[in-house]
Homo-oligomer: A and B are copies of this chain.
Amino acid sequence: MDPSIYKIVELVGTSPNGWEEAVESVVTRASKTLRNIRIVEVLKLDAKVDDGKVILYRAKVNLSFKFE
């Protein structure tokens, strides 16, 4: 790692299928506007429930990337 500056942003991703896919959805979407993402850290996992079933997994994450 060179003496660079990194920025950390907090995002929430969702998926009907699971938490890993919710995290990946954040990374995929954020990569369209943020270059050089290097770490995604899980802050909180929860899910929406309807009629006794988990219907939407949510992952709150911190994304860190080079601040250019």
A residues with a Cβ closer than 8 A to B are: 1-16, 18-20, 23-31, 37-42, 44-54, 56-57, 60, 62-64, 67
Q: Tell which of B12, B16, B39, B49 touches A5, judged by Cβ atoms closer than 8 Å.
A: B12
Interface residues of A, dominant DSSP = strand
CB-CB nearest 3 A-B residue pairs:
A31-B52, A41-B46, A6-B12
Number of copies: 12
Cβ–Cβ contact B6 & A64, under 8 A: no
Q: Report B-chain residues with C-beta under 8 Å of the C-beta of A40.
A: 46-47, 49, 54
Cβ–Cβ contact B12 & A11, under 8 A: no
Q: Report B-chain residues with C-beta under 8 Å of the C-beta of A5.
A: 11-14, 25-26, 29-30
